[in-house]
Structures are given as C-alpha cells and as structure tokens.
Amino acid sequence: MPEAAAAATYNRFGGDFHQDCRSPLLPIAEAKRIRDVYLTAFFERHLLGDQRYDEFLTPKYAITHEPGVLSQRKDAGQP
C-alpha cells in the first residue's frame, strides 16, 4: 500500500500517521525489522504449528529484545 493511502486510512481512524508512525525515535528500517521478526514468528507458530517460535511471542522476549518499544499481547479467547 502506498504511504499516502496508509496515512489516509490511519488518519480516518483517529490517528496521526506522521506523528505516530514516522517518529524519528524509531527509524522505518527498525520498524520493518521488528515487524518482520514478530510476523514471521506468529505465522510460523500459528500457521505452520512450529512451537520453536513460541519464545519469540512472549512479553519477556519483547521486553528483553525491544526495550524501546511498547508491546501488547492478546491471548486466544480474549475479547
């Protein structure tokens, strides 16, 4: 999705894309690295059933490896 379309969608839901997603504190390359680590772990675990990825999907792992990022986990079955 082009950045302009992503920004328009994000802003429509009450956010400020450039303020929230383009923070100078988190360069886009780092944001993409973080995204790739956690999406890969999630898909490997839940689509392929590979339990070796469980450790990457814990709050402890996120706190240890991404100290400057706030993370949140929603366990299965929770609203």
For tokens 């706030």, name the residue: 70
Number of domains, the chain: 1
Q: What's the half-sphere exposure (Cβ side, CA atoms, 13 Å) at 38?
A: 16
pLDDT at site 77: 64
Q: Please indicate, yes or no, if residue 17 is contained in any of the structural domains.
A: no
- Among the listed residues 45, 21, 48, 50, the one whose alpha carbon sits nearest the alpha carbon of residue 34: 21
pLDDT of 9 > 80? The answer is yes
pLDDT at site 46: 93
The C-alpha atoms of residue 73 and residue 2 are separated, in whole angstroms, by 28
Q: Which domain holds residue 40?
A: 25-74
**pLDDT interval class at 40 (50, 70, 90):** very high
The C-alpha atoms of residue 51 and residue 36 are separated, in whole angstroms, by 18
Q: What is the pLDDT of residues 55-75, one digit of tens each?
A: 999 888 988 998 877 777 777
Q: Please indicate, yes or no, if residue 13 is contained in any of the structural domains.
A: no
Query: Across residues 37-57, what is the average pLDDT?
Result: 95
